[in-house]
Amino acid sequence: MKLHSFVVLAAVTGYAMGAGQGLVGYGITMYKPPCAFACRDAISGATLNCSTTGSDDMGGMSGMSMSGMVMTDPSCYATDDAFLQTLAWCVSTRCKNMPTWKLEKFWQENVAGTEAVQPDPKETYQQALEKIGGTPTALYNATGSLNQTSLVSEDLWFAAYNTDTIFENQESQQEGFGLIILLSGVVIPIAISLLRFVPFPTAWRTNFNALIIDPPLFGHRHDTPVFFGLALMPKRGQALFILYFIVINTVLSAVNYQYADPNTWYPGDGWRWMCMLISNRLGLLSFANLPLVFLYAGRNNLLLWVTDWSHSTFLLVHRWIAAIATLQAILHSIIYLDVYIKNGTHATESREPYWYWGIIATLGLVIMFPSSVIPIRRKIYEAFLAWHIAVAILIIAGCYWHIVFEFKHQWGYEVWIIVCMAIWAFDRVFRVLRLLRHGLKTADITAIDSEYVRVTVPGVSASGVAYLYFPTLTWRVWENHPFSIASAMLSSTRSRIEVTHSTDGDIEKTSGSSLQAADKRATVSHSPVSSSQTSDKPPEMGITFYIRTQTGLSSRLSTRSTIPVLVESGYPSHAPLFESPHKAPTLVAIAGGVGVTALLPSLAGHPGRSKLFWGCRSQALVDDIEVSGSLWRVEKEVFIGKRMNVRDVLESELNGTTSEVCVMICRPEGLSDEVRTAFSDIVRKGNGVKARLIVESFSW
């Protein structure tokens, strides 16, 4: 599936940039040959015998006012003798070294204009040239009418030539800048992940990851929200990648601008020329960032398969790149608004379709932020997701029609948006394919206690993370949630355990600081499950989930015994090519509550020594998992209703070891942050620790 996925995405993206499409400088040319285009541009504003005077103002490219100007349609250009012969003479004198076939090609495609559908000129370039008969004597007056074959002055031609060549170079350059952003957003994660193949000393790698990559940028919290609970603090490695995007976007927004002096668009007005270039650059770079925003947010992000980066990391970077693209779009809009107001053309431009579609796109980006903060994402996730998708569709539609209404499909700016559509469609299509792989199944639901249920789906083979859809549980049949697959096989029998034990406190929800204040009765188990609790019958194929019944969709599960379910599976819980915990001789797993389910497959499959430290408030959950046989060969210490001292746990397991130790952690947020901090502190002390940390987490 991985190779097939890559081929499909490449094909879709290739179609978007295929024949007749592309970007300026990469498949599309604007003013080539420039000597001929300069001739046409120098006289394109002339009043011809077939021209008309428009009653309404028109907006020109890049904010140029065309108020009160003569209107000449393509058929007029294609048939007016004075225009055709003046253009032919100018081309013949300014493009002397150009092959005739190139000039004929220019003539056929561009004399009437640059529309996708337009009339052909009534005669060829050579036919128009032959009709002149001799050297023209009249000099074209840019402010007058063109009613005879005339000469184009050198000054006027050079101003048009200078405008065309410099503007096209700027456009081509900024498209290249956009490609740098897009391609580096794909290549850098792959390149960094390939460093895993380099045989660095284990101790050096341990220190580098523990000091440079894994700790939060500031403070001790990464999984626990900061900034009044509104956002997540990036880890240092994540922060370096985010910083790269901030720096590269800032630099590429600020460098290599060139003023065209003289020019025919804004003669003598360098301020408006530079505002045009800066605003165009910002708009283009905003577009170039959007494909990465969509790629990083997808479940079927190909980078999840070819790198060792987690989905949570890509989601975090997705938000930061979206913020960069939003800021660029805001500045693009503000600068052009200022230009139009000072030109006196705002009243007419603001009535154009491209204008209000641009407003829709920019406002969509802006309102994403207050509606996507962590409290909203977690409190009303289903509503947030529906809103997020709806606004994203508006943004893409706004960007696309903003370009098409202004430029049609001339310059390929819409290709960036088509790539976004292709990435989004690729992700959605493969979600459907993953669902169809298993079809509709019936899940068995067993209430373990008042907080947890066990969900088993017979006849399904999968591992890692699966997204479950319960179409009969709510009218919102599209709703789904990710759950870790605890087991890929179902036991044929299971002992019934009557649960009478209950404790207070909630290790899954309690942060590290509040856990220290806990003073609860504890039960600590060191022994494996007894053989009487398991069955000698062969297991059957199926997957098992343990779900905490909180609010929303999961809270309704405890009232059912069976329920139809769709399983969207095949997502790795950690990077499949690089982060296998099986590489280390010793596996130490630390879990809180139902988070143990993400660690069970690694514990069961680890060929060396495995030990689990598990803090859980529910004795019933512990008993049910032990009965399943998932921990039969695993050393374990289970803390019921009591905080485990993770620093003591890590020191006892890491200090004094000579072989590498893999430390895995899953849930809750406070526990994950505490383990990360303690792990880094122990490595920092320099006791020759050889270890690596894998955090199984999913941050919305």
Convert the pLDDT of each residue in 497-514 to its tens digit: 333 333 333 333 333 333
Among 656, 515, 540, CA closest to 590: 515
Phi, psi dihedral angles at 584 (to 5 degrees): -90, 140
Tokens of 505: 């406190």
Whether the pLDDT of residue 232 is over 70: the answer is: yes
Whether the pLDDT of residue 667 is over 90: the answer is: no
Residues with Cβ within 8 Å of 573's Cβ and at least 6 positions away in sequence, in order, are: 464, 465, 484, 598, 601, 696
Let me know whether 606 and 681 are in one domain: yes
Q: For residues 400 and 56, what is the distance between their CA atoms, to the nearest angstrom?
A: 26
pLDDT at 502: 33
Whether the pLDDT of residue 4 is over 60: the answer is: no
Any domain includes 573: yes
Any domain includes 434: no
Tokens of 639: 């803390």
Let me know whether 142 and 175 are in one domain: no
Our CA angle for 496, 590, 450, nearest 5°, is: 35
Among 650, 641, 584, CA closest to 613: 650
Highest mean predicted confidence (pLDDT) among 5-19, 495-509, 658-672: 658-672
Pairing of strands 609-616, 23-24: unpaired
Classify 666 as helix, strand or coil.
Answer: strand
The domain boundary, picked from 315, 344, 373, lies at 344
Contact 505, 518 (CB under 8 A): yes
The domain boundary, picked from 152, 185, 201, lies at 152
Let me know whether 138 and 183 are in one domain: no
281: left (phi over 0), alpha (psi -120 to 50) or beta: alpha
How are strands ordered across the β-sheet holding 465-469? 481-484, 465-469, 562-571, 440-447, 452-458, 540-548, 487-490
Any domain includes 221: yes
Convert the pLDDT of each residue in 273-288 to its tens digit: 999 999 999 999 999 9
pLDDT at 513: 36
Give 578's DSSP letter.
Answer: T
Among 128, 132, 136, 74, CA closest to 104: 128
Instruction: Give the pLDDT band (50/70/90) at residue 551.
Output: low
Tally DSSP H helices, then E strands, for the chain.
22, 19
Whether the pLDDT of residue 603 is over 60: the answer is: yes
pLDDT at 490: 73
pTM of structure: 0.88
pLDDT at 167: 97
Any domain includes 391: no
Any domain includes 365: no
Let me know whether 88 and 189 are in one domain: no
Structural domain count of the chain: 3
Tokens of 615: 């803090």
pLDDT at 580: 66
Contact 603, 631 (CB under 8 A): yes
Tokens of 577: 């090519």
Classify 510 as helix, strand or coil.
Answer: coil
Average pLDDT of the segment spanning 293-302: 95
Phi, psi dihedral angles at 334 (to 5 degrees): -65, -45
pLDDT at 10: 45
Q: Which helix (H) or strand (E) holds 594?
A: none
Let me know whether 96 and 198 are in one domain: no
Domain of 325? 169-344
Among 588, 582, 579, 583, CA closest to 650: 588
Burial class from Cβ neighbours inside 10 Å (0-12, 13-18, 19+) for residue 638 reads buried
Let me know whether 649 and 556 are in one domain: yes
Let me know whether 478 and 552 are in one domain: yes
The domain boundary, picked from 310, 344, 378, lies at 344
Handedness of CA 248, 249, 250, 253 (dihedral sign): positive
Give me the residues paired with residue 24 across strands. 28
Average pLDDT of the segment spanning 513-530: 41
Among 583, 575, 577, CA closest to 605: 583
Tokens of 205: 């790698």
Convert the pLDDT of each residue in 316-348 to its tens digit: 999 999 999 999 999 999 999 999 999 889 999
Let me know whether 582 and 466 are in one domain: yes
Asked which of 70-84, 358-372, 489-503 is least confident by mean pLDDT, the reply is 489-503
53, 74, 266 from 58: Cα distances, Å:
11, 16, 16
Rg from Cα positions in the chain:
33
Contact 641, 503 (CB under 8 A): yes
Contact 297, 318 (CB under 8 A): yes
Instruction: Give the pLDDT band (50/70/90) at residue 349.
Output: very high
Asked which of 241-245, 522-526, 617-621 is least confident by mean pLDDT, the reply is 522-526
Whether the pLDDT of residue 553 is over 80: the answer is: no
Phi, psi dihedral angles at 498 (to 5 degrees): -85, 120
Contact 48, 83 (CB under 8 A): yes
Average pLDDT of the segment spanning 470-482: 88
Q: Which helix (H) or strand (E) holds 42?
A: helix 34-43
Q: Which helix (H) or strand (E) holds 238?
A: helix 236-254
Q: For residues 289 and 167, what is the distance between their CA atoms, to the nearest angstrom?
A: 22
Whether the pLDDT of residue 700 is over 80: the answer is: no
Give me the residues paired with residue 615 across strands. 592, 639
Let me know whether 315 and 285 are in one domain: yes
Give 689's DSSP letter.
Answer: -
Instruction: Give the pLDDT band (50/70/90) at residue 540.
Output: confident
Phi, psi dihedral angles at 4 (to 5 degrees): -60, -40
Tokens of 593: 């509550």
Output the average pLDDT for the chain. 86
Any domain includes 559: yes
Contact 188, 295 (CB under 8 A): no
Q: For residues 55 and 60, what is the distance between their CA atoms, to the nearest angstrom?
A: 15
Any domain includes 12: no
The position carrying tokens 């060792």 is: 308
Q: For residues 490 and 546, what is the distance between their CA atoms, to the nearest angstrom?
A: 13
Among 390, 397, 330, CA closest to 363: 330
Any domain includes 333: yes
Q: For residues 621 and 624, what is the distance between their CA atoms, to the nearest angstrom?
A: 5
Convert the pLDDT of each residue in 166-216 to its tens digit: 999 999 999 999 999 999 999 999 999 999 889 899 889 999 999 999 999
Report the percent of the chain where pLDDT is more than 90: 66
Whether the pLDDT of residue 619 is over 50: the answer is: yes
User: Which 3-state string (H, E, C) describes 434-450?
Assistant: HHHHHCEEEEEEEECCC
Q: For residues 268 and 6, what is the distance between their CA atoms, to the nearest angstrom?
A: 51
pLDDT at 379: 86
Let me know whether 234 and 120 are in one domain: no
Average pLDDT of the segment spanning 623-644: 90
Let me know whether 526 and 636 are in one domain: yes
How are strands ordered across the β-sheet holding 524-525? 524-525, 635-640, 609-616, 586-592, 661-666, 691-695
Among 597, 590, 633, CA closest to 612: 590
29, 207, 298, 314 from 385: Cα distances, Å:
41, 39, 13, 17
Residue-by-residue DSSP string for 522-533: --EE-SPPPGGG
Give 213's DSSP letter.
Answer: I
Whether the pLDDT of residue 62 is over 70: the answer is: no
Let me know whether 500 and 614 are in one domain: yes
pLDDT at 68: 54
Contact 235, 217 (CB under 8 A): yes
